[in-house]
Amino acid sequence: MEKIIDGKAFAERLRADVGTKVAALKARDGVVPGLAVVLVGEDPASQVYVRNKGKQTVEVGMQSFEHKLPDTTSQEDLMQLIDQLNGDDSVHGILVQLPLPKQIDEKSVINRINPDKDVDGFHLDNVGRLSIGEEGIVPCTPLGCLMMIKDQLGDLSGKHAVIVGRSNIVGKPVAALLLQENCTVVITHSRTVNLEEECRRADILVAAVGRAEMVKGDWVKPGATVIDVGINRIETDEGKTRLVGDVDFASVEPVAGKITPVPGGVGPMTIACLLHNTLQQACRINNVAVPE
């Protein structure tokens, strides 16, 4: 097996699989999964994400509904749109692109989404389900990490997993998923004492920090599986910018057993998992089995 985990190829396979199942669902039950993406404001990065999501949604045969609202949108108007999408039978997934403008309370908006349509897995119901190990919707980036780790390592029982970062959208859900897989999980953060030592104990090291190239080669146990969630833009000596992860790839790659690159590692899995979640929910909402 290759040392470098090819997230781009993995995501392509997952999207192809979703596409096949979407076609089968349509033929068998007449159901076409629909994903609604809501963008408030003009943030350039968010616009790119939303465009990519819409394009990939259509490519797998689903319906894509894009709602672009001005950055002056009130909380009430956004809530009304969520209510409308909650009641729309052609919509099986609702994603509100974050961050939202400051006049809008993100938590209230996310928790207004019908939990069965919360394909980002951020609604309190789904967060609670994940934390007690009940079936629910798992956030996309953590799900992508888990799929790649399981694909590489198979049974994870007893493995020592160290997560760097405790955010609600990455660190904590990744930890919950690995705990469910019977790993021994350590969650580290900015107040952790001896971070490097904690990392060196990891069979599975997941970095979700948002600090460019922070994890160095001598923090990593030889042979460990290293998953780099970070996306950081840094300036090069030539005055250009380039994307790097939270892991210093040059020093970690020779030590690790497996490693995800940036770009081309975790990143591409996020939208693929969003489409996967939307298919699952279209089947659940219509009370039919996911096609084989």
User: Could you list the residues that contact ligand NDP (CB under 6 A)?
Assistant: 141, 164-167, 169-171, 188-192, 195, 208-211, 229-232, 266-267, 270
| Other CB atoms within 10 Å distance of the CB of residue 193 | 7
Q: Report in angstroms how near the CB of residue 136 gets to ligand NDP at its nearest.
A: 19
| Secondary structure letter of residue 193 according to DSSP | T
97 belongs to the catalytic site? yes
53 belongs to the catalytic site? yes
Q: Which is nearer to ligand NDP, 60 or 148 (CB)?
A: 148
Q: How far apart are CA 250 and CA 41, in angstroms?
A: 38
Q: Which residue is nearest to ligand NDP (CB)?
A: 167
Q: Which is nearer to ligand NDP, 18 or 148 (CB)?
A: 148
Q: Report in angstroms how near the CB of residue 259 gets to ligand NDP at its nearest.
A: 15
Query: Choosing from 53, 159, 172, 258, which is the catalytic residue?
Result: 53
237 belongs to the catalytic site? no
Strands of the sheet containing 93-96, edge to edge, are: 63-69, 34-40, 93-96
Query: Choosing from 116, 118, 120, 248, which is the catalytic residue?
Result: 120
Structure tokens, 265? 């590692």
Q: How far apart are CA 3 and CA 253, in angstroms?
A: 8
14 near 278, Cβ under 8 Å?
Answer: no
Q: Which is nearer to ligand NDP, 31 or 174 (CB)?
A: 174
Please state the φ and ψ torsions of residue 154, each to the nearest 5 degrees: 70, -125
63 near 90, Cβ under 8 Å?
Answer: yes
Query: Choosing from 21, 56, 97, 280, which is the catalytic residue?
Result: 97
Q: Report in angstroms how near the CB of residue 232 gets to ligand NDP at its nearest.
A: 6
Strands 232-235 and 241-244: antiparallel
Q: Report in angstroms how near the CB of residue 271 gets to ligand NDP at its nearest.
A: 8
Q: Which is nearer to ligand NDP, 73 or 249 (CB)?
A: 249
Q: Which residues are catalytic?
A: 53, 97, 120
